[in-house]
Amino acid sequence: MFELTGKRILVTGASSGLGNHFARTLAGAGAEVIVAARRKDALDGLVAEIVGGRGLARAVPLDVTDMGSIAAALDMAGDIDVLVNNAGVTNTKAVLEQTEADFDFILDTNLKGGFLVATEVARRMKNRGAAGSIVNIASILGLRQGGQVTPYAISKAAVIQMTKQLGLELARFNIRVNAIAPGYVATELNDAFFQSEAGKALIKRVPQRRLGNLSDLDGPLVLLASDASLYMTGSIITVDGGHLVGSL
């Protein structure tokens, strides 16, 4: 039931961070992973490591803001059983400093890009009469507010509604659409911030009093990718150490 052997899984944004870890986790659970992003050299390194560990992996170049690139990547990938719709960008700026270009950059990648990849994958699943699973990577910032990340938070709130809309409309084709909403996960990119006083204060507001580790996302990811979640669609799973239920 929790078996991923025989499933081909496309992971977008796999050249770093969460996506890189997701690809390793899914390959470790037996899936063939197709890793996608713009930085092909980083993907090639990841594929070499997975294949070196006797896993199944291939890399395809992908820019989620370009429909031609999405179609070409899916042609190269072949039939996909599961999509991990993870590619995303953010910035840190006060809302009145955010420009039209900032807003477009973040929404075009996180929302429009995620929508285009999900719907094109689903179109192809439907056309070949195959069941499938789409796992969107949202954020707790799609459910609560945080300073200096307004376009990002708006994009992630939209990803949560997109998950429910697609869950509704694609159920008739046996395509499930769910999302993981991670809290703050420790990565190399945010290491410096979480060593600062502001970063330490933020960690104190998490009921479990720690950041998430990448491995904390493994269980929900494998659940949603596998047949263990056959009766789940339109669900949002928060993985945040209780951050969203922190005391007022």
Ligand X SMILES: NC(=O)c1ccc[n+]([C@@H]2O[C@H](COP(=O)([O-])OP(=O)(O)OC[C@H]3O[C@@H](n4cnc5c(N)ncnc54)[C@H](OP(=O)(O)O)[C@@H]3O)[C@@H](O)[C@H]2O)c1
Q: Least distance to ligand X from the beta carbon of 17, Å?
A: 2
Closest-by-Cβ residue to ligand X is 17
Q: Least distance to ligand X from the beta carbon of 134, Å?
A: 14
Nearer to ligand X, 34 or 64 (CB): 64
- Cα 238 to the chain's mean position, in Å? 13
Assess contact for 214 and 163: CB atoms under 8 A. Answer: no
Binding positions for ligand X, rule: CB under 6 A: 12-19, 37-39, 62-65, 86-89, 109, 113, 137, 139, 182, 184-185, 187, 189
Strand order in 132-137's β-sheet?
56-61, 32-37, 8-12, 82-85, 132-137, 175-182, 236-239
Q: Least distance to ligand X from the beta carbon of 70, Å?
A: 9
The single residue of 29, 152, 163, 226 carrying the catalytic annotation is 152
From residue 150, how far is each of 60, 90, 109, 145 by CA, in Å?
31, 9, 15, 8
Nearer to ligand X, 16 or 119 (CB): 16
Q: Least distance to ligand X from the beta carbon of 56, Å?
A: 20
- Name the 3-class secondary structure at 169: helix
Query: Within 13 Å, how many C-alpha atoms sit on residue 174's CB side?
Result: 11
- Known catalytic residue at 231: no
Assess contact for 135 and 219: CB atoms under 8 A. Answer: no
Q: How many CB atoms are closer than 10 A to CB 149?
A: 20
Nearer to ligand X, 3 or 65 (CB): 65
Nearer to ligand X, 67 or 130 (CB): 67
Q: Which residue numbers are catalytic?
A: 152
